[in-house]
């Protein structure tokens, strides 16, 4: 007999089936779906089109006391591309399959973890609160559904935070995505590493591949590459062997800087010495690093090796929400305790939209309601279990109601 799932699961499947895949996300169907969800819940729906084709949807649940700073529940609507041939199921069918051995079921889809589960849990938590008689909270709650996070948020949150409509939301606390945790706790991210994407370009003499030609592009570039890869190796060793200031806890990914050589370009033909060579790096800088000094080091590397540096993207803001004496954080902790879910605080290894919000002085917490779950964001066969989705709805019921009730 086929297993019956609650209506909230069907709703999640519908959201996952909307193909909001980069680089051509179907935002039209997505907006239509979200506004209909808002209507069902009696939320006020607004679409802000700062850039044509890049809609920002805000669904608002007005609070009893409109003067209080509000609770913002953020999620991005886009998902990353797939290598469809490596998937066991259509990534946009949201197929439900048995989870081997556990008696659970998996919902398989691109975006299941990153991060449609989060947006959907917000909506279903509000539905559940209303069903149990909570018609209004003290504080206004805004659900933000934003585009283009996966490509750097240029036409999404990065612009929205400078827009009048964002300031009009008067946000007191901001919840955003985290990452699933293979262990038995929800990860809570209070800070993030800074994404620095850089490209080094070397030029040099060219000529026949049979000669000893000096001052060519590739050796210059290799000096830079080797220096950055040495730095990478040292950081990796620190991660593997060092401990935190307390002398005990192991370092985690967020505590070190990672460097990945992600693109190499050069050469036209095997017997022609190339005039130009390029190497691009994805660097994620630990929040305790002095970014002014770090940038100076990147430039020095270019100058001493006679190569050019292009900073494709850099981040210099203060991307950290202090947890000490933070009433929002205390409230989240109390609500999680009530839900029976342990929290594990950490520094986010990649980047989320919170990096545009924290520098404005708004406390932001990155949480995905996924524990005992492998990390499959951006991977093949991304899935969440039905059980974690339903647990997430319960978790957000507690958290939304607690944050929304703070006096
Ligand atoms: C730094 S802009 C790109 C943002 C992207 N976010 C999720 O994967 C990331 O690579 O971290
Ligand atoms: Zn994401
Ligand atoms: Zn992502």
Residue labelled with tokens 């991307």 = 319
Q: Which ligand is nearest to the CA of 22?
A: 3
Cβ of 366 less than 6 Å from ligand 1: no
Q: How far is the CA of 235 from the centre of ligand 2 (A)?
A: 25
Q: How far is the CA of 378 from the centre of ligand 3 (A)?
A: 6
216 SS3 class: coil
204-243: pLDDT as tens digits: 999 999 999 999 999 999 999 999 999 999 999 999 999 9
Rounded Cα distance between 72 and 157, Å, is: 13
Considering only CA atoms, which residue is closest to atom 3 of ligand 1?
A: 152
| Torsion angle, alpha carbons of 18, 21, 26, 31, to 10 | 60
Which of 352, 356, 366, 382 is the pocket-test mutation for ligand 1 (most atoms within 8 Å of CB)?
352
313 SS3 class: strand
Q: How far is CA 113 from CA 27, 29, 229, 280, in A?
A: 19, 20, 31, 28
161-181: pLDDT as tens digits: 999 999 999 999 999 999 999
Q: How far is CA 261 from CA 230, 291, 311, in A?
A: 12, 20, 14
Q: How far is the CA of 271 from the centre of ligand 2 (A)?
A: 44
Read off the pTM: 0.93
Cis peptide before 156 (omega within 30 of 0): no
pLDDT at 49 over 60: yes
353-397: pLDDT as tens digits: 999 999 999 999 999 999 999 999 999 999 999 999 999 999 999
pLDDT at 1 over 60: no
Cβ of 350 less than 6 Å from ligand 1: yes
User: What ipTM does this complex have?
Assistant: 0.97
């Amino acid at each position: 007999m086929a297993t019956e799932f609650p209506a909230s699961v069907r709703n999640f499947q519908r959201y996952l089936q909307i193909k909001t895949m980069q680089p051509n996300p179907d935002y039209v169907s997505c907006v239509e779906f979200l506004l209909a969800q808002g209507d069902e819940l009696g939320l006020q729906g607004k679409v802000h089109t700062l850039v044509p084709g890049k809609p920002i949807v805000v669904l608002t649940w007005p609070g009893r006391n409109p003067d209080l700073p509000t609770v913002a529940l953020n999620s991005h609507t886009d998902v990353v591309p797939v290598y469809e041939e490596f998937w066991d199921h259509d990534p946009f069918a949201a197929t439900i399959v048995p989870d081997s051995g556990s008696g659970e079921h998996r919902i398989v889809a691109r975006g299941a973890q990153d991060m449609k589960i989060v947006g959907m849990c917000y909506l279903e938590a509000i539905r559940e609160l209303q069903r149990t008689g909570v018609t209004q909270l003290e504080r206004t709650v805004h659900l933000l559904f934003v585009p283009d996070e996966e490509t750097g948020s240029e036409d999404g949150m990065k612009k929205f935070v400078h827009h009048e409509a964002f300031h009009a939301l008067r946000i007191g606390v901001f919840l955003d995505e985290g990452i699933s945790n293979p262990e038995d706790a929800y990860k809570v991210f209070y800070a993030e590493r800074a994404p620095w994407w850089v490209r080094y370009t070397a030029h040099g003499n060219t000529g026949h591949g049979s000669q000893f030609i000096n001052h060519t592009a590739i050796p210059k570039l290799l000096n830079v590459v080797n220096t950055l890869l040495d730095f990478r190796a040292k950081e990796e060793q620190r991660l593997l062997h060092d401990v935190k200031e307390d002398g005990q806890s192991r370092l985690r990914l967020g505590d070190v800087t990672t460097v990945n050589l992600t693109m190499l370009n050069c050469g036209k033909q095997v017997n022609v010495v190339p005039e130009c060579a390029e190497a691009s790096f994805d660097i994620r800088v630990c929040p305790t690093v002095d970014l002014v000094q770090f940038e100076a080091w990147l430039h020095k590397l270019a100058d001493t090796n006679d190569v050019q540096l292009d900073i494709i993207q850099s981040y210099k803001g203060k991307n950290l929400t202090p947890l000490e004496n933070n009433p929002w954080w205390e409230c989240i902790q109390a609500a999680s305790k009530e839900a029976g879910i342990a929290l594990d605080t950490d520094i986010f290894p990649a980047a989320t939209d919170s990096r545009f919000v924290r520098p404005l002085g708004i406390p932001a917490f990155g949480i995905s309601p996924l524990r005992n779950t492998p990390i499959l964001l951006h991977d093949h066969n991304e899935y969440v279990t039905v059980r974690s989705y339903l647990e997430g709805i319960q978790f957000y019921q507690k958290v939304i109601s607690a944050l929304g009730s703070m006096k």
